[in-house]
């Protein structure tokens, strides 16, 4: 059994703490370090909630971490700015990034793709690690062949930094691959309150709801003459993302290409 040595950036976060559980509970994964700007030089076991996890050093800077620790994969669950720096630096040190952090720009993704090619290394960026969400996106792409009119309604907890969600953007991109470009709604439509019709992506609209109590939910609504079709996915707990993280860590070790979206690595 080949041991996969993993670094996690953002271990105290809602997603990062689930990833720590996943990595420490998976037989062929080893957590070799974490990146956390608040506890540089300490051990993870010194941090509240992680007392049972031994021998995992904390680094505040990824460069120092990668100079000191031998690793195969970096899991990043932080914020877009720092996540991009982490992914770029990991590749420079021949470590494969698995990124769940959302909010990367098109330019960021293109840069990472180029870095992967130059380094001949794998990298997986997945705006949503929940298998059900990936199926929701695939089913939406299928439906969009027959329904050109679609509105995406994404609903998240109110601590989320980016809007629209990475999942909503990815869904819109997948739909746009098969849907004929169409400006939806009435030609003379006017917003009397700015933002009422949501964000415009290739003529379809994305609406972002932020409320405490929610985790991650998305509804894709299709309409045509006399009928509607609703495709919905709900994540009720962040554990729902971890089976996807596990698949991504295992897969990134076997490939030398850039992958954007978990759907591209599932059979």
The residue among 103 and 198 lying less far from ligand NAP, judged by its C-beta, is: 103
157 is catalytic: no
Alpha carbons within 13 A on the beta-carbon side of 256: 4
Give which of 15, 7, 9, 21 is closest to 50, Cα–Cα.
21
Burial 181-210 (b: 16+ CB within 10 A, else e): eeebeeeeeeeeeeeebbbebebbbbbbee
Taking CB under 6 A as the rule, does residue 13 contact ligand NAP?
yes
Residue 200 beta carbon to ligand NAP: minimum distance, rounded to whole angstroms:
22
Taking CB under 6 A as the rule, does residue 260 contact ligand NAP?
no
Token pair belonging to 22: 């996943």
Residues ≥6 apart with Cβ < 8 Å to 247: 262, 265, 266
Exactly one of 21, 26, 30, 79 binds ligand NAP (CB under 6 A); that residue is 79
Site string for ligand NAP, 210-239 (x = CB under 6 A): ------x-----------------------
Q: Tell which positions 104-163 bind ligand NAP, by CB under 6 A.
A: 126-129, 160
**H or E segment and range at residue 215:** none
User: DSSP 3-state assignment of 195?
Assistant: coil
The residue among 97 and 103 lying less far from ligand NAP, judged by its C-beta, is: 103
Taking CB under 6 A as the rule, does residue 77 contact ligand NAP?
yes
Taking CB under 6 A as the rule, does residue 12 contact ligand NAP?
yes
46 burial type by CB count under 10 A (0-12 exposed, 13-18 middle, 19+ buried):
exposed
Taking CB under 6 A as the rule, does residue 97 contact ligand NAP?
no
In whole angstroms, give the CA distance from residue 165 to residue 159: 12
User: Of the residues 64, 85, 160, 194, which is catalytic?
Assistant: 160
Q: How many residues bind ligand NAP (CB under 6 A)?
A: 26
> For residues 36 and 12, is the Cβ–Cβ distance under 8 A?
yes
Token pair belonging to 155: 């609903």
Residue 78 beta carbon to ligand NAP: minimum distance, rounded to whole angstroms:
4
Residue 241 beta carbon to ligand NAP: minimum distance, rounded to whole angstroms:
4
160 is catalytic: yes
The residue among 19 and 148 lying less far from ligand NAP, judged by its C-beta, is: 19
Q: Which positions are catalytic?
A: 156, 160
Per CB under 6 A, residues contacting ligand NAP are 9-10, 12-16, 35-38, 77-79, 82, 100-103, 126-129, 160, 216, 241
């Amino acid at each position: 059994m080949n041991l996969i040595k993993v670094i996690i950036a953002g271990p105290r976060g809602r997603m990062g703490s689930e990833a720590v559980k996943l990595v420490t509970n998976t037989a062929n994964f080893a957590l070799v370090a974490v990146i956390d700007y608040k506890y540089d030089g300490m051990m993870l076991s010194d941090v509240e909630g992680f007392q049972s996890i031994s021998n995992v050093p904390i680094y505040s800077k990824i460069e120092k971490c990668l100079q000191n620790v031998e690793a195969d994969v970096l899991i990043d669950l932080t914020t877009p700015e720092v996540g991009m720096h982490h992914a770029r630096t990991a590749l420079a040190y021949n470590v494969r990034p698995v990124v769940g952090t959302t909010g990367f720009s098109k330019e960021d993704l293109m840069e990472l793709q180029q870095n992967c090619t130059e380094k001949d290394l794998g990298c997986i960026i997945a705006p949503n690690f929940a298998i059900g969400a990936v199926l929701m996106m695939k089913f939406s792409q299928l439906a969009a062949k027959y329904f050109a009119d679609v509105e995406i309604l994404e609903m998240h907890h109110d601590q989320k930094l980016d809007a629209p969600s990475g999942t909503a953007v990815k869904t819109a991109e997948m739909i746009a691959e098969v849907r004929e470009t169409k400006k939806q709604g009435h030609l003379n439509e006017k917003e009397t309150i700015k933002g009422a019709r949501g964000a415009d992506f290739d003529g379809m609209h994305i609406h972002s709801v932020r409320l405490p109590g929610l985790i991650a939910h998305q509804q894709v609504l299709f309409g045509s003459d006399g009928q509607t079709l609703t495709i919905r996915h709900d994540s009720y707990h962040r554990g729902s993302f971890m089976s996807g993280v596990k698949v991504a860590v295992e897969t990134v070790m076997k490939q030398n290409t850039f992958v954007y979206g978990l759907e591209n690595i599932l059979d």
